[in-house]
Every structure is written in C-alpha cells, then in structure tokens.
Amino acid sequence: MVIGIQGSSLKQALSHALPQLACWQPAAVALMAPDRPPLSFAGLANLVGQLCGDLAGRGFGPNTAVGIVLPNGPETASCFLAVSALATAAPLNPAYSEDEFRFYLSDLDVKLLLCGQGMGDAARNAAKALRIPVLDVVLTEGARAGEFVLSGDAELAIAGSAHLNEMQLNGPDDFALVLHTSGTTALPKIVGLRQRHLHASMTNTARTLAMSADDISLNVMPLFHIHGLTAAVSAQLAVGGAVICTPGFNVLKFYGWLAEFRPSWYSAVPTMHQAILARAARNGDVIAKSRLRFVRSSSAALPVSVFHDLERVFGCPVVEAYGMTEAAHQITSNGLPPARRKPGSVGLPAGPEVTILDDKGTILSVGEKGEIAVRGANIHDGYLNNPEANATAFTDGWFRTGDEGLIDEDGDLKITGRLKEIINRGGEKISPLEVDNVLLDHPLVAQAVTFAVPHAMLGEEVGAAIVLTDGASADADEIRDFARCRIVEFKVPRHILFLQEIPKGPTGKVQRVGLADKLGLV
C-alpha cells in the first residue's frame, strides 16, 4: 500500500524569502533569546546579508562546507541561515572530542570553521591539524538575539557586505546542509540536503501545523540536529513567526521560558516531554496562563501514556510526527483538531509518499508489517560518497528508512521499532516499543527503555532500564508480574535495572543499540 498527500508550497527558500518578510513586516520579531534584546525580521535579513557578503568575499560559496561550532542559541540559528543561503552548513556538536572533530571535519571536507569566541579548543585543534581556517563568531556589546560579527584569520580576504537580493545565493540543487546519521553499529553516513529538500520539508511542516505569523516557537532542540533546524526554526520563520532560541533543553528553566515568552508551541523528543511532565505539578500557575496552541513530539516514539498526560496537563492537542535526517525531518504527522489524532500512531503522510516493503522490495498491504519506505521532494538523493550504502538504501526509487512499521486501515502509520533494535530471542521477534508501553502503564514507572541483552543460548534476551517516579520504590519481580498480565511470557524483561537517569545521545534520544554494554550487562 502506498499513501501520500499533495500540499501547497511556500513560494521560495527561506534565504530568498527573508528580504520579503523584512519588507512586509520589518519590525516584527524574528529571533528571541533569554537575556537578549529581540531581533526583527529587518534586522535578521540585514544580518544574513552581511554574513553572506563576508563569506563570499572570503572566497566561499555554493557547495563549500562551512563547519559551525556554537553553543545552542540565537547565533547558531542566524549562522545556519546565513551559511545555508550561500554555502553548505555543517553544524557540529560542540561537545565532540578532538578526535571526533577531526573525523567529522575531514569526512565532510570542511573548508572553513566558524567557532564561538573563547570556546571550542577541541574543534580548533582539530581544524589546525587539518589546516582548516577558523573564524571567530563574536558578540558585540548590546547585540540583539542572533547578531554577531566574524573575526580572525587575516589571510582570508574580506569584502563588503551585500543585500540578499543582490547576491548569487544557493540554487535549488545546491547543498544547503550536511549532517551525519547517528551511526550506532557502523561509521555514520553523510546526508546531503539540497535547498529544495529543506524548502519542501519546512513547507510541509508549516502546512501540517497551520503555522502563521502569530505563532511563536520555543526551540529546546539542539541546532546541530535536523529536528530543531527545520521544524522549530526554519518553518516558523518562513511564515513570519518568531522563534525563541534557548541555550538548549533545561527542564529547570523550561517553565520560566514558558512564562516569560508565552510561546504558542514547542517541539521536543519524548524524553524531554517526560522530564517536563515530572515538574508540571509545581508549575500549575505557569501552565494555567500559558498560550500553547499545541505540543509537538518527534524523533522517537511517544509513549501513549505520555501523549495523554501532555494533553491533560497543557490542555492543548499533542501532535506526534515521524521524521529523520534523510527526509530533511518530517515524513508523517498527526493532525490538529478537527483532524484525527491517534495515540500510538505517527499519523498520515505529511508531504512525501509512504509505503511498507518486505525484504524483497515488494509493497505490502494494509496491516502487514515491514520496512517503512518513503519518496518525495524532501527525501535526500543518497548518502554522499557511499555507493555501498545507497545500493541497499534505495529500492525502485523508495528510500528504505530502517524503521519497521505498518499502515493501518485508516491510512495511519504505526512504527513498531528500528529493524536493528528488534530483539531476536531464540527466533521470537520482540518490538522494544511494545514492551516500553506496557512498562510505562505501571503507576510507579516514569521512564522505561527496553533493549537487547546478549544471551549464549537464545542469542538475545529482553532487558529494561527503568526510572521510577519521585519517591517510589519497586523491585524487579513486581515489574515482571505487572508485565506478565499484559504481554506473553517471552516478551517479559529478564534483566531489569533501576536507574536515576537513562543514558541518552546528544539529541536527547535513547540509543537502544549498545545500551546493554553501556549499562554493564555484557
């Protein structure tokens, strides 16, 4: 079965739209940040024009990778907008080690590194070893959110700035962004996203969420990740709405931001939503005065219990979406009222076509489980410099996502797990997500992650890491007895670990592959 929808499109890429937005609503706020004056659309358009002129004058242009190492915040957003308009943005996690920076900078063939002033020793050392020039991102006194100047490396030529309308910017087929996949069992692959991919995805996202210039997005996602870059920042700015650029997710500050900035929506991964819910009871006044139009969840499966708790606490719809780097983020999404929202489902196609394939590439029927495959304007054209990966990733024009799922009778997509995460217990295949949802139904369980544990006879056994609610006490046998009443015996976790916090990756997602090793079970 193949499902898909056709949607209207924003008329042009964000870099081309900024001058028009600045003309139509020059004083409207574009970027906000804690403890910083806001930046208007006129200010943002001028800033991007200046930065593009600076970079072009230094000899950088289309399809030239420019690394970005900055702390999360408004400068990362404006830097991404400028670099992706003229060249190829390569935002990197500031927490990488020097060896990791050396690998990523080399693998991406980065020609210039933009680094926050006074930070990034590991990145700078790696760039020096690779003979990559570095420019400092410098904040001047009183700078508005997102404003900065470039400084350093005098040997690079400097030219005057230019207006965006007067400059040769990236075309639809030029690479605007390069990111690595999260690689859990092998070296990460390079995803190259062209302007047309980003344009299609932000269009799809804005349409799905009915975004307008009245909306204000609270971004808590890291801006070296596609989720934050496309959904929380680019899509919102493209329709003339403002973005609150936080220093990154901090549950202790979240409700303060909610009160100060009064956003109309935020998007996060499930572990962030769970942390937010854990502190909801002590922030009732803030929640009562909030103006959230909806809450969005993506990048990992949202447990059904968390879906219902979010809607109950915030009194607004929860929209769960399915996305990935190779799709420039959004693939499917549940709808806003009056459209149907189905807990446990990631909704209908929200731009591209979606189907389910078997191992041989045959399209499966309604209700049949297989590999989720996608195609459409926002889907990447193939991993860069990796013909071996592309040979297995594409079948008859369909990109195979590596996720397992099914399309139900209503046309909604249900994800049952990552193919590499499926637990094979002596030939019995177990979806970790199914077990997660059962464990989360226990009244004392706040978080639960199921994963494979190596076993000498069975190949793999079922393990679970659990975080209990504040002040709660439970033992493994109690949890197992609860699970036995809801799932068949072979799916019940044999290894149960109670933790204060479950290890997560840099984007806040739990990486099940390798978790047994991290937790000392191997």
Distance CA 149, CA 426 (A): 59
Mean pLDDT within 380-394: 95
- 401 located within any domain: no
Helices (H), ranges, 363-411: 387-393
Under 8 Å between Cβ of 183 and 168: no
**C-alpha span between 114 and 103 (Å, rounded):** 17
Q: Is 74 helix (H, G, I), strand (E, B) or coil?
A: helix
Residue 188 placed within a domain: yes
For residue 12, pLDDT beyond 70: no
213-257 pLDDT, tens digit per residue, is: 999 999 999 999 999 999 999 999 999 999 999 999 999 999 999
Which spans in 96-178 are helix H?
98-107, 121-129
State yes or no: pLDDT of 186 exceeds 60.
no
Whether the predicted pLDDT of 18 surpasses 70: yes
Instruction: Please report whether residue 348 resides in a domain.
Output: no
The model's confidence at residue 25, banded by pLDDT at 50, 70 and 90, is very high
252 vs 486, higher pLDDT = 252
DSSP, residue by residue, 309-328: HHHHHH-S-EEEEEEEGGGT
Number of domains in the chain: 2
Final residue of a domain: which of 197, 218, 248? Answer: 248
Which of 248, 278, 294 terminates a domain? The answer is 248
CA angle 200/90/42 to nearest 5° reads 65
426 conformational bin, left if phi > 0, alpha if psi -120 to 50, beta if neither: left
Enumerate residues 6+ apart whose C-beta is below 8 A from 275: 249, 251
Closest CA to 197 of 106, 88, 301, 65: 88
Most confident of 16-30, 133-147, 149-163, 507-521: 133-147
| pLDDT for residue 154 is more than 60 | no
Instruction: For residue 473, give the CATH number of its domain.
Output: 3.30.300.30
From CA 265, how far away is CA 499, in angstroms rounded?
Answer: 31
Q: What is the CATH number of the domain that holds 157?
A: 3.40.50.12780
Q: What is the pLDDT of residue 163?
A: 57
Is residue 376 one of the residues assigned to a domain?
no
Higher pLDDT, 434 or 197: 197
- Average pLDDT value for residue range 21-47: 95
Residue where one domain finishes, among candidates 223, 248, 273 = 248
The phi and psi torsions of 273 (rounded to 5 degrees) equal -60, -40
Average pLDDT over the chain reads 90
Give 64-113 pLDDT, tens digit per residue. 999 999 999 999 999 999 999 999 999 999 988 898 899 999 999 999 99
Decide if pLDDT at 159 tops 80.
no
Residue 491's domain spans which residues?
423-518
With 80 as the cut, is the pLDDT of residue 183 above it?
A: no
Greater pLDDT, 334 or 423: 334
417 within a domain of the structure (yes/no): no
Give the range among 23-32, 451-460, 479-488 with minimum mean pLDDT: 451-460
Q: Which two tokens stand for residue 183?
A: 């690689």
Residues 6+ apart with CB under 8 A from 65: 87, 88, 90, 108, 109, 110, 111, 178
Residue with tokens 């996060």: 268
How does pLDDT run across 253-297, given as a tens digit for each residue?
A: 999 999 999 999 999 988 899 999 999 999 999 999 999 999 999
pLDDT tens figures, 430-480: 888 889 989 999 999 999 999 999 887 777 899 999 999 988 999 999 999
Residue 281 in any domain: the answer is no
User: In this predicted structure, what is the pLDDT of residue 84?
Assistant: 95
The residue that leads in pLDDT, 299 or 439, is: 439
- 2 belongs to a structural domain: no
359 in a domain, yes or no?
no
For residue 261, give the amino acid letter. F
Percent of the chain with pLDDT over 70: 93
Q: What is the pLDDT of residue 185?
A: 45
- Does residue 9 surpass a pLDDT of 50? no
Instruction: Give residue 167's pLDDT band: very low, low, confident or very high (50, 70, 90).
Output: low
150 has a pLDDT exceeding 50: yes
User: Out of 184-193, 283-292, 295-304, 499-508, which region has the weakest mean confidence (pLDDT)?
Assistant: 184-193
Determine what percent of the chain is predicted with pLDDT higher than 90: 74
